[in-house]
Amino acid sequence: MKARLLPLTVTGSALAMGFVIWGCAGVGGTVTPSDQMPLMCATEAPPAEEIASVEAFVASQVGSFPPNVPIVVPIYFHIITTNEGVGDVSDAVIAEQMVALNAGFAGTQSPGGFDTKVSFTLAGVDRTANSAWYTCARDTAEDRAMKTALRQGSADDVNIYVRDLPPGIGGWGGFPWWYAGDPIMDGPEVDNTGMPGASSGALGDLVVHEVGHWIGLYHTFQGGCEKNNDYVSDTPAEEHYNWNCPTGAIDTCPQRRFPGNDPTMNFMDYTADSCKYQFTSGQTTRLQSMWVTYRKGK
């Protein structure tokens, strides 16, 4: 197991002396004072019609996918601060984030991970003091202006925007098939407190999770107890996301047609950073196919 999370006092109506989970929003259970507080993001499941169209198209391209070849992704970090410099993220933190990101995709964060053959190289870091961008809402004129000014590369370069997101939100991202329709807005945004070493105790898996979406992975709990759920055969179906660090097996879809315990150790679930360490073979096949279809050389 990885290092334990540190306690965090959460203000307002949130939990006192709870813990933060970094991931994306989904349908979950009721949070009690003994639970870790999920810090949501705005990466939502696409409409059913969009999912069906994407899955059909990718399936039609299967013959063009080479078997699990190495993928090297350039990554740009854009650090946004207030005009006075509040919210800066150091080069040391970015270096620690790169280690966590590469370890997550290589399957080496903890025994039981799977090597996806995806690695990341740091292509650039820039810092911009702009209070309007620092706290702007998603998909606003300020958000677009920020990305228009800062975005680097093309479809196969990942741009990470680190700034102050609204209370209760750790990050948001998008899917690779969205790039062609709006290239400027491609790339995850994450809260600066979700970077490794922050007071939240984050270990870097927020970025691993969001980049998983960027390459084409859904949440493991998408669709709940349905046949296709996340379109990966070796991530057992989950009725809803899990949080905390589960101490025993959990099976939220116990019906016979959904064998297997919830993949609470998976980066695309919602458990704490200290308990997530795995992508699977099936997720690797999916992200490789998504890469070739929507990002490689685009």
Catalytic (active-site) positions:
210
Measured between alpha carbons, how far is 151 from 138 in angstroms, rounded to an integer?
16
Coil/strand/helix, residue 177? helix
Per-residue tokens: 156: 């196969």
Pairing of strands 37-41, 169-172: parallel
Q: Kindly write down the DSSP assignment for every residue of 107-170, as one continuous string.
A: T-SSTT----SEEEEEEEEEEEE-HHHHTPPTTSHHHHHHHHHH--S-TTSEEEEEE-PPTTEE
Question: Which of 119, 133, 122 is CA-nearest to residue 162?
Answer: 133
DSSP state of 7: P
Residue the block writes with tokens 């990050």: 171
Q: Tell me the residue length of the chain.
A: 298
Measured between alpha carbons, how far is 186 from 209 in angstroms, rounded to an integer?
16
Assess contact for 136 and 143: CB atoms under 8 A.
yes
